[in-house]
């Protein structure tokens, strides 16, 4: 019986680590604000939160395979062709990081890389969702991010 409990606990641990963390809007907004994203290169905190919402639904473990063979990683879906190294597809690795880092629950390095992304001439247009002109309407569950109560 003890063996079965240990197996079940191990399985649950694996499942928990492979699902990633799904942030709530206020928790994400706080992390983004602390990292200095609010106002960085002229982009407001709601711009960033909205991007994360549409790209990953706030999921740190989100991945998306693209038709060019590259993959988008993490809460902001940062692309392996330009920004990180996944060891599979050709990359410029402009953020000088492994793509796996972008899947961690701690999003510090993902946010640092996002600053690098928007420092390029394309700015936030590097994110596909922003080329769809949906970034002008913040989803209901992403509004008022700066008024979240401290926990």
Just list the catalytic residues: 55, 72
With H, G, I as helix, E, B as strand and everything else as coil, classify residue 86.
coil
Q: H/E/C letters for each residue in 88-107?
A: CCCCCCCCCCEHHHHHCCCC
Question: In Å, how far from its chain's centre is CA 65?
Answer: 15
* C-alpha to C-alpha distances, 148 to 24, 27, 29, 133, 145, nearest whole angstrom: 11, 9, 9, 26, 6
The angle formed by the CA atoms of residues 30, 27 and 115, to the nearest 5 degrees, is 50
Distance CA 90, CA 47 (A): 29
CA distance 92 to 2: 49
């Amino acid at each position: 019986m003890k063996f079965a409990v240990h197996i079940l606990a191990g399985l649950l641990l694996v499942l928990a680590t492979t699902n990633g963390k799904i942030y709530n809007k206020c928790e994400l907004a706080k992390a983004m604000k602390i990292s200095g994203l609010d106002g960085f290169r002229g982009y407001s905190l709601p711009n960033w939160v909205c991007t994360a919402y549409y790209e990953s639904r706030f999921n740190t473990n989100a991945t998306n395979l693209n038709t060019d063979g590259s993959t988008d990683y993490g809460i902001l879906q940062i692309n392996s062709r330009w920004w990180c190294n996944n060891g599979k597809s050709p990359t410029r690795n402009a953020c000088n990081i492994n793509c796996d880092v972008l899947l961690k629950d701690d999003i510090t390095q993902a946010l640092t890389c996002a600053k690098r992304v928007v420092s390029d001439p394309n700015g936030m247009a590097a994110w596909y969702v922003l080329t769809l002109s949906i970034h002008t309407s913040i989803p209901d569950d992403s509004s008022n991010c700066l008024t979240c109560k401290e926990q």
